[in-house]
Structure 1
Amino acid sequence: MVSSIMEVGRPAQNLQLPMARVHRSQVFRQELTDRSPWQELTDPKANRMKSDRRHELEQNVLADRLGAGIESVQSFLPTAIGAIVVVTVLALGWGLYSSSSQRKASAAWTDYYFNLEAGDADAFADIAEKYDGSVAGAWALQTAGNGYLENGLQTLYVNKADGEALIQKAIDEFSKLESQSDPVLRSKALLGLAQAYESLGEIDKAAGYYDRVAKSTTQPRLISKANERIAFLNSQPGKEFYAWFKSYAPKPGAAITLPENFLNPPTTPDIEFSVPGDTSGSPPTDGSGANLPVLDPEDLPKIPDVAEPQGELELTPPADGVADETSVDTSSGE
């Protein structure tokens, strides 16, 4: 009985199973329909929602990128600002320095040319010290050296100690220009040193500087003159003359009656910077190195001529340093 009842109930359960499967299938289809691209394309509300969402996402991406960019800029912004400040300060500093240098150069050349007429060696030495390192300062050194040398040569005939002191001042000034980058100034300084040492009777040093003059120029005439001077200093007459002159001691007030060739040491260098009609020998006024002076071979001292004496002539002066009056033909044999 019981088994028959259970058998009767089985068909009912079997009927419920297909119904459940149908329901699940319908739900699945509905879900598929809800997710259908066609519905998304045809439903305006869905389109607006997706557009808004897409716009929101784009804004978020843009904001993220901007944020990253700002952070990146902020990381090196102090460095960039510092670099800009440094460049600005350097530019302003260079402008001020250039302006100051131009004013200083102008003042140096003004002082230089105002002192040319007076020709005061001490004044040029002061200018050289005041404007040390400038082009005008270098020219002032050279001019001061020439002035001391000229004054020293003149003073040698009156007071030998004072004359030698002035020539030593000339040597000090010229020596400061030995390493000068300007070849013209360097050549003039070497020439001045050669003449100064020759005036002091130090012929070995003088010959050495004349040799440097010859090697520091490409001008044939100047090379020839310098070599000619070296030849005289190394000759026997030259050695005898300067051996005597080195020991010569003039007495104040005493008449000097020695022959002319024995009386004069080498002539002073010409301190003029140009010859008539030539402006290339003028010192530069703008510091650019233009219009540099040309070393004139005529600046070289003339070789003293030892004239043939009329009769016998003793080259060595008397012991008291004052020679007897002697009549000698002093005509130049050069």
Structure 2
Amino acid sequence: MNTERRHELESNALAHGITTWSDKLRPYVSVILAVTAGLLVLFIVMSFWNKYQADRNAEAWQELELALFEGDGEARSLQRLADSEEYQGTEMQEWAYMSWADRQLRLASELYLRDREEAKKRLSSIEGIYEQFADNASSSELRNRARLGLARVSEMQGDLAEAKAQYALVDGALAVLAAERVKQLEAKPAAGTIEWLATVEIPKRTPPTGPGVPGARPGFEATPPAADAQSGLNFDSTQSLEQILGGIQAAEDGAKRYDEGADKPADPSSPSVSPAPTGEAPAVETTPAAQSPAEESIPGEAGAPAAEKPAE
């Protein structure tokens, strides 16, 4: 069989196969087109959804970074992010909860000797968060960090056995730190110190009182002045400061008006009234005017006694 004949037979077999499969798939063409269109729409929707999730996660991590570097000692921004419905279900929210719990643990350790009750309250509020993430966190890093936090809470509460058990469950990058802490707790000085801290009573510091206390606002209210016996001013304590000042101004204006009337000269056209004579006027004693230094007598002048000439 030559080559041309063989090629012709192969072409006929291929055409026959295509025709056969076309006939078999013709009833399902509409279904195939519908499935293809559905897959295309699903691909487009998933692309938009992935982009939305990526943008949402990026925004969430940025908000977490800003909250971590905020100067609020109570970490209110972290708590707001952890409870936010806008970022519900994101991995950032788990880290916000964990960061807030770690911050409260640090504050409790600082308050433990100054305010034992407040420190215990903070420890109770974060213990449940650590327990939840130790079992159900989305990543092993969060679970290990939660176990480490639980161990520290138990340690501050004086439960050394529970603290060692939680430290033993920590693995990964924090396992070395947990093992080192277990060795420290097994030593007698550390155990004695923890037992002492759990029972010692530290006297509370008495807060300062009086003016100038930090956080106290000075009084800006204006009080009416008291009565002044020397000046004759008497103030009504029920009046406001504006009423008192207005009354003083009105009194000063009235006094000035009477003073101006007394200083005004009399009208020349009005008759003058002279006092009636009462007998002889008393004699007025005149006194010689005092001589000025220029009128004093100078030796050698007329009217002045001449100086005696010494005998020869």
Question: What TM-score do the two structures reach when normalised by structure 2?
Answer: 0.51
Check the 8 A contact 2:144/2:174 in 1, yes or no: no
Check the 8 A contact 2:148/2:178 in 1, yes or no: no
Check the 8 A contact 1:217/1:223 in 2, yes or no: no
1:184 equivalent in alignment to 2:141: yes
1:124 equivalent in alignment to 2:81: no
Cα distance between partner residues in 1 of 2:127 and 2:114: 20
Gapped runs of 5+ residues in structure 1? 1-61, 256-334
Aligned to 1:138: 94
Cα distance between partner residues in 2 of 1:77 and 1:220: 61
Cα distance between partner residues in 1 of 2:183 and 2:146: 19
Q: Over residues 71-111 of structure 1, what are the superposed CA-to-partner deviations in whole Å (9 max), with x where a residue is unaligned?
A: 75452123212212321221122112101111110111111
Aligned to 2:122: 166
Greater Cα radius of gyration, structure 1 or 2: 2
Check the 8 A contact 1:193/1:209 in 2, yes or no: yes
Equivalent residue letter for 1:170: I
In structure 1, which of residues 144, 152, 156 is the aligned counterpart of residue 108 of structure 2? 152
Check the 8 A contact 2:82/2:96 in 1, yes or no: yes
Cα distance between partner residues in 2 of 1:138 and 1:219: 18
The 3-state SS of whatever aligns with 2:204 is coil
Aligned length: 186
Check the 8 A contact 2:131/2:146 in 1, yes or no: yes
Query: Counterparts of 1:297-308 in structure 2 under 5 Å?
Result: none
In structure 2, which of residues 178, 183, 189 is the aligned counterpart of residue 228 of structure 1? 183
Equivalent residue letter for 2:155: E
Query: Counterparts of 1:1-334 in structure 2 under 5 Å?
Result: 72-118=24-70, 120-130=74-84, 131-179=87-135, 180-213=137-170, 216-217=171-172, 221-222=176-177, 224-232=179-187, 235=188, 237-253=189-205
Check the 8 A contact 1:141/1:174 in 2, yes or no: no
Q: 1:140 to 1:218 in 2, by over 3 A?
A: closer
Equivalent residue letter for 1:217: G
Shift of 1:193: 1.6
The 3-state SS of whatever aligns with 2:124 is helix
Check the 8 A contact 2:168/2:179 in 1, yes or no: no
The 3-state SS of whatever aligns with 1:176 is helix
Cα distance between partner residues in 1 of 2:196 and 2:206: 18
Equivalent residue letter for 1:161: E
Cα distance between partner residues in 1 of 2:134 and 2:22: 62
Which of the pair is proportionally richer in helix?
A: 1
Root-mean-square deviation (CA, aligned residues, Å) is: 3.1
Cα distance between partner residues in 1 of 2:66 and 2:174: 32
The 3-state SS of whatever aligns with 2:169 is helix
Shift of 1:212: 1.7
Aligned to 2:231: none
Equivalent residue letter for 2:100: A
Cα distance between partner residues in 2 of 1:202 and 1:137: 30
Q: 1:219 to 1:208 in 2, by over 3 A?
A: closer
Check the 8 A contact 2:130/2:150 in 1, yes or no: yes
Cα distance between partner residues in 2 of 1:193 and 1:113: 24
Percent identity (aligned): 15
Cα distance between partner residues in 2 of 1:212 and 1:253: 40
Q: 1:231 to 1:196 in 2, by over 3 A?
A: same
Q: 1:209 to 1:229 in 2, by over 3 A?
A: farther
Greater RCO structure (CA 8 Å; 6+ sep): 1
The 3-state SS of whatever aligns with 2:98 is helix
The 3-state SS of whatever aligns with 2:58 is helix
Q: 1:218 to 1:252 in 2, by over 3 A?
A: closer
Q: 1:158 to 1:226 in 2, by over 3 A?
A: closer
Cα distance between partner residues in 2 of 1:171 and 1:150: 13
Gapped runs of 5+ residues in structure 2? 1-14, 208-312
Shift of 1:149: 0.5
